[in-house]
Amino acid sequence: MSLHLQSQRQHPDQLIIGLVSVSDRASSGQYQDEGIPALRRWLDSALTVTPLYEERLIPDERPLITGTLIDLVEAGCDLILTTGGTGPARRDVTPEATLDAGTREMPGFGEQMRQISLKFVPTAILSRQVAVIREIQDHAALIINLPGQPKAIQETLEGLRDPESGRVLVPGIFAAVPYCIDLIGGPYAQTRDEVVQAFRPKSARRPGP
Give all domains of the chain, ordered by start, each with its CATH number.
4-192 (3.40.980.10)
In the predicted structure, residue 94 carries a pLDDT above the cut 60: yes
pTM of the model: 0.95
Between the alpha carbon of residue 53 and those of residues 36, 44, 45, 75, 130, the distances in Å are 10, 11, 14, 12, 21
45-68 pLDDT tens trace:
999 999 999 999 999 999 999 999
Quote the pLDDT of residue 197.
93
Mean pLDDT of 146-167: 89
In the predicted structure, residue 7 carries a pLDDT above the cut 80: yes
Q: What does the alpha-carbon distance between residue 143 and residue 131 come to, in Å, rounded to a whole number? A: 5
In the predicted structure, residue 1 carries a pLDDT above the cut 70: no
Average pLDDT of every residue of the chain: 94
107-124 pLDDT tens trace:
999 999 999 999 888 999
